[in-house]
């Protein structure tokens, strides 16, 4: 009886929200490029279609232009790579979307690719795709007339560069009233540095105006945040709304000691906020106690671990409607740590959880944290609610049995605790370089010594525990700075 009432409530709420005017058939797009060799490239567009409208076109046009070299400007055709319907919304089985013959709002994705094109060296290549439709509108921009996405390339200073490409399809729906986290991470082939940010929606290559109080960075009445380093969005909407967002990913490369902007890509997308009698499932932090209960105090998402030891972390699910309404939750992870394993238990039930196991080696020690992500998705209606969380582990040198560690040199550190200066005394082969780590694995200071007994000033360090480690030696030791 409870399930029947819940389904009826969701249906009525969804029919009410469906009174919004959706775009004619276009919901968004993203654009990227791939370097083939020399001055040869291929352009790609992911086209997001509102399944209530017309079919996606068989071809689209991309404008390639350069202000500094106007003779290079031209338009090229991109063809649909496949007619397969790639639906991006996860709807429940009893309420299929318009992409699969139902009436629930649905969006599908199609990939378009150009043939190979020649792009002579230019500092300001711009690749633009615009989809116009007279009835395109949302609640934050009014009548948009369609959207424009664009990518940029400077192949004058970098003759070889493929743009980053979004790993997953854009987020098209979210539930009203709950915080939700969505990934916009990309695949970066060239190892360049990336910066993510919200940007203004565009139409016909011009920024769209926003209805007060909305803006490019606040497109919901609630909360909008994007992580500049990895593109993760954390969103909350207090209203039912057909919104839209746009993300730009700027790409930087170190050239002659300076980071230069060498390109960018863009994603623009409608965002439909719906009402459901559901609680969006959330995940705990890394539970080292391996307890079976979701503990709101388990909020550790960033931790330091020592090499040469075995670790187990449990990730627990909280969905307050699981037991009351029969919601089941599915867990998955991105295999973000190569030698780690993530064992999922009771998946697709009301008691799913996962345990990450890892035994990092000495070769895994580094100041940059390792990252893995876990996604939880329920089976609620009209859409499955989803959240994705990132977890960070920094591997620091092992301190187990360091008093008995042997190296080519006998090394002693004194005093310990230390106030202003530390003395390094050595017998045997001289180790000339040491590194001081914070307890979370960051390199704080590098020390160079030229004698068997050297005193080094460390007065600038803040009070706390540190690890000193010899380069080209197995020596490491903890010390306390007063």
CA-to-CA distance for 64 and 125, rounded, in angstroms? 7
Q: Is 90 helix (H, G, I), strand (E, B) or coil?
A: coil
Chain position carrying tokens 């030891």: 309
pLDDT of residue 20: 43
pLDDT of residue 270: 93
CA-to-CA distance for 122 and 397, rounded, in angstroms? 47
Nearest to 15 by CA among 87, 104, 138, 102: 104
Q: Per-residue pLDDT for the chain (482 aa), expressed as one digit of tens each?
A: 333 333 433 443 443 334 444 446 889 999 999 999 999 999 999 999 999 888 899 999 999 999 888 888 899 999 999 877 789 988 888 899 999 899 999 999 999 999 999 999 999 999 999 987 645 678 888 766 788 999 999 999 998 999 999 999 999 999 999 999 999 999 999 999 999 999 999 988 789 999 999 999 999 999 999 999 999 999 999 999 999 999 999 999 999 988 999 999 999 999 999 998 888 898 988 887 665 555 554 567 888 899 999 999 989 887 655 445 558 999 999 999 999 999 999 999 888 899 999 999 999 999 889 999 999 999 988 899 999 999 999 999 987 654 444 445 688 888 888 889 999 998 877 888 888 888 666 788 888 888 889 999 999 998 887 888 887 666 778 788 88
How crowded is the C-beta side of 338, counted as CA atoms within 13 Å?
2
pLDDT of residue 278: 85
User: Please, are residues 256 and 200 in contact by the beta-carbon 8 Å criterion?
Assistant: no
pLDDT of residue 358: 96
The CA–CA distances, whole Å, from 374 to 14, 32, 157, 201 equal: 29, 27, 38, 30
pLDDT of residue 292: 57
**Chain centre to alpha carbon of residue 74:** 34
Does the N-terminal peptide bond of residue 212 adopt cis geometry, omega within 30 degrees of 0? no
pLDDT of residue 467: 82
Residue 475 sits at φ, ψ, to 5 deg, of -70, 135
Nearest to 242 by CA among 266, 274, 200: 274
Which domains can be identified in the chain, with CATH numbers?
2-274 (no CATH), 282-396 (2.60.40.10), 402-481 (2.60.40.1930)
Nearest to 270 by CA among 101, 48, 37: 48
User: Please, are residues 229 and 196 in contact by the beta-carbon 8 Å criterion?
Assistant: yes
**Chain centre to alpha carbon of residue 136:** 29
Q: What share of the chain is helix, strand, coil (3-state, %, to 5)?
A: 5, 50, 45
Does the N-terminal peptide bond of residue 382 adopt cis geometry, omega within 30 degrees of 0? yes
Does the N-terminal peptide bond of residue 21 adopt cis geometry, omega within 30 degrees of 0? no
Chain position carrying tokens 């190979």: 116
The CA–CA distances, whole Å, from 328 to 2, 141, 346, 424 equal: 16, 37, 10, 59
Torsion of CA 157, 163, 164, 166, to 10 degrees: 160
CA-to-CA distance for 370 and 264, rounded, in angstroms? 26
pLDDT of residue 295: 56
Strand partners, 66: 125
The CA–CA distances, whole Å, from 71 to 117, 122, 126, 304 equal: 15, 11, 14, 55
CA-to-CA distance for 83 and 86, rounded, in angstroms? 9
Mention every residue, 6+ apart, whose C-beta is less than 8 A from residue 404: none
Q: Is 352 helix (H, G, I), strand (E, B) or coil?
A: coil
pLDDT of residue 214: 96
């Amino acid at each position: 009886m409870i399930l029947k009432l819940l389904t009826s409530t969701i249906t009525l709420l969804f029919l009410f929200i469906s009174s919004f005017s959706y775009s004619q058939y276009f919901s968004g797009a993203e654009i990227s490029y791939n370097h083939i060799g020399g001055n040869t490239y291929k352009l790609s567009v992911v086209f997001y279609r509102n399944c209530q409208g017309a079919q996606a076109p068989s071809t689209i046009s991309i404008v390639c232009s350069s202000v500094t070299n106007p003779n290079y400007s031209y338009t090229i055709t991109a063809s649909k790579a496949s007619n397969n319907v790639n639906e991006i919304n996860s709807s429940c089985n009893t309420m299929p979307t318009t992409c699969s013959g139902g009436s629930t709002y649905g969006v599908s994705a199609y990939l378009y690719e150009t043939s190979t094109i020649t792009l002579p060296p230019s500092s300001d290549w711009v690749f633009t795709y615009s989809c116009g439709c007279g009835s395109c509108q949302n609640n934050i921009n009014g009548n948009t007339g369609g959207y424009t996405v664009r990518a940029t390339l400077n192949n004058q200073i970098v003759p070889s560069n493929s743009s980053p490409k979004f790993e997953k399809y854009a987020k098209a729906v979210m539930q009203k009233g709950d915080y939700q986290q969505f990934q916009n991470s990309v695949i970066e082939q060239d190892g360049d540095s990336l910066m993510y940010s919200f940007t203004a929606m565009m139409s016909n290559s011009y920024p769209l105006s926003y209805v007060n109080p909305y803006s490019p960075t606040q497109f919901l009445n609630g909360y909008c945040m994007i992580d500049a380093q990895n593109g993760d969005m954390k969103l909350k909407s207090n209203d039912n709304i057909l919104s839209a967002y746009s993300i730009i990913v700027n790409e930087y490369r170190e050239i002659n000691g300076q980071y230069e902007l060498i390109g960018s890509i863009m994603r623009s997308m409608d965002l439909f906020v719906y009402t459901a009698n559901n609680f969006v499932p959330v995940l705990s932090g890394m539970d080292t106690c391996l307890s079976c209960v979701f503990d709101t105090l388990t909020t550790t998402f960033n931790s330091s671990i020592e090499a040469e030891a075995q670790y187990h972390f449990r990730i627990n699910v909280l969905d307050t409607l699981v037991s009351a309404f029969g919601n089941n939750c599915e867990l998955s992870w991105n295999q973000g740590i190569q030698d780690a394993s993530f064992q999922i238990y009771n998946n697709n039930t009301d008691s799913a959880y996962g345990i990450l196991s890892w035994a990092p080696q000495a070769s895994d020690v580094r100041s940059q944290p390792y990252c893995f992500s876990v996604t939880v998705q329920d089976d609620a209606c009209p859409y499955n609610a989803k959240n994705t969380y990132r977890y960070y582990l920094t591997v620091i040198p092992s301190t187990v049995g360091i008093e008995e560690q042997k190296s080519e040199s006998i090394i002693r550190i004194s005093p310990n605790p230390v106030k202003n200066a530390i003395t390094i005394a050595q017998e045997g082969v001289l180790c000339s370089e040491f590194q001081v780590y914070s307890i979370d694995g960051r390199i704080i200071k590098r020390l160079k010594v030229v004698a068997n007994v050297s005193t080094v000033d460390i007065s600038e360090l803040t009070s706390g525990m540190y690890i000193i480690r010899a380069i080209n030696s197995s020596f490491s030791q903890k010390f306390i700075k007063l």
